[in-house]
A = this chain, B = another copy of it.
């Protein structure tokens, strides 16, 4: 079988003045859609070339005249000042010291006493509003009758006078154009204006086939410090969604008023890594409902004009929530997500709903990579190997690129590689018919504090801030495994128990984080449900700091299930149980001897008899497994991404699920390769994930073997 010959399923960034290049690239890569990008426009000539046209529009930042006369309707946010130590009875707190004055302006429309908060950070107490005043001319809050040497902060409200993406473009690409300002559509007047503006835009864009909404209402969270440095960033954060009328409506709907501190969160700003509070989740749900209404209004207009709608999961995408059931009400036709690895591929591919799925691949055609000495080819190859592996489990419908095509055209090796990549993608899409490849008998549920709403979001650990190379990345391993995967939350289990079709619950992430679950592990309902379920035949795989929360003499709350416990300093003189490393276990077979758990110092000991240690560094347990009633459990101290570790994970899941028998079904023996069977279309792919030739034995679902040799990075297909 050969690749789809006639091209298609590829979106190309076009650029006025580059018409010849566009045509040549479109032919080479088989592009059927062209798009504009930030900073590029499509000439009439391009529009006439006959491609489907994606037109990028970000409604809230499209009209730069409106904000000039409606300054009070700019988007807002709460910021927390630096922490200031009082040295006398009065303390002056500069509001903007930590922030970029080209981006933020102190909100002078809202009564500070109504929404700002002065907090004594030594005690956590709110300072009475009568004790402080805002001195506008000095840009400070002066607080009286303070306790000397207590630390004080102000939560205050700012207008956002420079759109974060516009600012990023200026900073990264040295743009000198006017600063773009976004508008807040929560104001009805602005809302109506933007709808009118959009009606007009639709009328004036007859060539547009797909309205590519980038995205909708509110930018994701980036706080900028002096000079434009980033002082906070959360791609999934809602801190840029604050608006006074919304705060009022929230109070009416929810029966309580959101405090600035509910958003500021001691300065942590409810970062996605944090176990979310009820208040923050309530606010998210409230804003999500508004964004869905706003989006539906836009999508309805586009559909009425015979155009499709796409959303790009980036920029103004706070409140979109593609994994929320409500998202379907918007009426989006194409989900587009940026994609650099298997996790981000699966984030788009696995999203629920009938939407066409499209990934925008890296590298983006921007001068930060496409510059003399840059290595766009290397970046793309590294990404593609991960993406392809995940795509063979669940393919997307389309791929595409963004940026300046003229930049990419200067790298002919990159251009040739993308041609091959596009052909490989179309081959996968053709043979898969858009369906998933067959899965093994195991269904896993990844348990986090966020659940499905944050499906396929990576569990960053503290090492990520310090540039650790070898961080645990279970999701990337998982993204390419032939198992069914869902994401569930503690609330899900509390409300409905453990889904009956799940075989293995994975709890993966650093203790205390949203990924591990933090305080949820002191919720006996959840812990008890899991314990009972495992005892009756379920299984639990803990990675990192699983079930980690200090409570009643245990740190790992499921230490009785996993058989291991982490030392946190309270039981230094309680020795762990003695162990010998069992290197013969089923899950360790078929490995190259280079297993890597991300650290040699887990500080984890065996605490229950019947625990089999599979890897250790001295007294530190790195991996252990344990039978637990009718069920099974496993622990790993970390799982950095690698083909070796992906295979280890697969075998661990099979063992946990008590399905060791399934190891040879739809299986490639050489762990540097993968296979994927699309039974519904009668064919099977085999891929080589490394840059050297490989041979492997492929088993079909009946265990019938077949030998296979592959060139470096080759993908080949068999009929079943």
Contact = CB atoms under 8 A, between A and B. Distances in A.
9 A-B pairs with least C-beta separation: A266-B553, A122-B524, A267-B553, A149-B532, A149-B528, A149-B531, A121-B552, A268-B570, A233-B573
Interface stretch (A157-165, A184-192, A429-437, A460-468): A460-468
A63 interface: no
A568 B513 CA distance: 9
A467 B619 contact: yes
A575 B231 contact: yes
B618 A531 contact: no
Interface in A77-113: 83, 85, 87
A462 B573 contact: no
Chain A binding surface SS class: loop
A271 B560 CA distance: 22
Interface residues of A, number: 67
Nearest to A621: B466
Contacts of A123: 524, 552
A387 B528 CA distance: 53
21 contacts: A85-B535, A85-B560, A121-B553, A122-B524, A122-B552, A148-B532, A149-B535, A150-B524, A150-B528, A230-B575, A274-B569, A274-B570, A461-B569, A462-B603, A465-B573, A465-B575, A466-B567, A466-B619, A468-B601, A510-B569, A512-B569
Interface in A544-573: 551-554, 560, 567-573
Contacts of A271: 570-573
Contacts of A574: 231-232, 267
Contacts of A571: 267-268, 271
Interface of A: 83, 85, 87, 119, 121-124, 147-151, 153, 229-234, 266-268, 271, 273-274, 460-468, 510, 512-513, 524, 527-529, 531-532, 535, 551-554, 560, 567-576, 601, 603, 605, 618-620, 629
A229 B512 CA distance: 34
Contact of A601 (B150, B151, B466): B466
A517 to B, nearest CB: 12
A527 B122 CA distance: 8
Nearest to A82: B608
One complex includes copies of this chain to the number of: 2
Contacts of A512: 568-569
Given A122-B527, A148-B532, 4 more contacts: A147-B524, A462-B568, A464-B572, A466-B619
A664 to B, nearest CB: 35
B466 A273 contact: no
B528 A619 contact: no
B573 A234 contact: yes
A570 B123 CA distance: 19
Contacts of A531: 85, 149
B465 A567 contact: yes
Contacts of A576: 465
A528 B147 contact: yes
A273 B574 CA distance: 12
Contact of A87 (B87, B231, B535): B535
Contacts of A267: 553, 571, 574
A702 to B, nearest CB: 39
A572 B235 CA distance: 12
A122 B468 CA distance: 36
B268 A83 contact: no
A553 B122 CA distance: 10
A553 B83 contact: yes
B465 A572 contact: yes
